Amino acid sequence: MKDLVFIGKKKNTNRDMLEMLEEVFQIDIVEPTKESVRKRIQLETPDLILLALGNDAEEESQIINLLNMDFINIPVVTLGTEYETIPFNRYYESSQFAKAVMPIGNRHILDLCCSMAGMEPDFYEDRGKKHILIVDDNALTLRNIKGMLSDKYSVAVAISGVQAFTSIGRKKPDLILLDYAMPVTDGKQVFEMLRADVEYSKIPVVFLTSVADEKVVVELLSMKPAGYFLKPVKQKKLLETIETII
């Protein structure tokens, strides 16, 4: 989950907006002063800053100038009326800054914040759904299984163990469908790395394998996964199994 620093006061008018953003971002609220903002960013660099205008115009000017001069790599969204954004029009010419002009719907603010933070649309379109990661080096398998699950679940795909951990870092899955036989880092190695990580050790893993050999199945089951499927996978059985696990 990406970090968003909200600069402003948590007024009642912001409550619904912040609740929606909290479904996607880890939010930290900072007082709208230059020094408060500087200290917060130096403590930990956020992925996005949302600055609520309409408080102290001089402080807001100092904050925006600070962000533009010293923290140019942090994307910034300002939230205010058209009149409140006028003093900062020159900043909006750069890719670092964008403005959400009030009145504006909370969903439009969410869309803009996600876009500025570099998040793909499916990352937040499927919020509220259980999240499944499919890991397989076969593109056709990935496409077919994703098609089976997308109506009911949020689905991410990875073609290697390295990509799998990158995806897990972006959004922790509720379940992983993991190909047992992959080049470089195979399913067994990925499984062992997951179990060795405290944060990821409890994620249920269901193995996928195209080998029905008894020795392979025994080896696979000895690792105690949440289950396994022989490929090609049947949609009905897959959905039933997933429902029993998550």
Q: What is the pLDDT along the chain (246 residues), one digit of tens a residue?
A: 788 999 987 664 577 788 888 878 888 889 999 999 999 998 889 999 999 998 888 999 999 999 999 999 999 999 999 999 999 999 999 999 999 998 888 888 988 999 899 886 555 556 668 899 999 988 889 989 999 998 888 888 888 888 898 888 878 899 999 998 887 888 889 999 999 999 999 999 999 988 777 777 788 788 899 988 988 999 999 999 999 998
Co-location of 33 and 15 in the same domain: yes
Residue at 91: amino acid letter:
Y
Domain final residue, candidates 84, 100, 121 = 121
The answer to whether the beta carbons of residues 166 and 133 sit under 8 Å apart is no
Domain final residue, candidates 87, 106, 121 = 121
Co-location of 7 and 57 in the same domain: yes
Number of domains in the chain: 2
Co-location of 116 and 211 in the same domain: no
Co-location of 139 and 105 in the same domain: no
Place of tokens 């909006």: 92
Place of tokens 């793909």: 120
Domain final residue, candidates 78, 104, 121 = 121
Co-location of 9 and 117 in the same domain: yes
Co-location of 62 and 153 in the same domain: no
CB-CB neighbours of 210 under 10 Å? 14
Co-location of 7 and 104 in the same domain: yes
CB-CB neighbours of 177 under 10 Å? 30
Co-location of 58 and 72 in the same domain: yes
The whole-model pTM stands at 0.53
Co-location of 146 and 106 in the same domain: no
The CATH number of whichever domain residue 73 belongs to comes to 3.40.50.2300
Co-location of 6 and 71 in the same domain: yes
Place of tokens 């397989």: 136
Q: Which domain holds residue 222?
A: 126-245
Co-location of 101 and 180 in the same domain: no
Whether residue 32 has a cis bond before it, omega within 30° of 0? no
Question: SS3 string of the chain?
Answer: CEEEEEECCCCHHHHHHHHHHCCCEEEEEECCCHHHHHHHHHHCCCCEEEEECCCCHHHHHHHHHHHHHHCCCCCEEEEEEHHHHHHHCCHHHCCCEEEEEECCCHHHHHHHHHHHCCCCHHHHHCCCCCEEEEECCCHHHHHHHHHHHCCCCEEEEECCHHHHHHHHHHCCCCEEEEECCCCCCCHHHHHHHHHHCCCCCCCCEEEEECCCCHHHHHHHHHCCCCEEEECCCCHHHHHHHHHHHC
The answer to whether the beta carbons of residues 100 and 77 sit under 8 Å apart is yes
Co-location of 214 and 232 in the same domain: yes
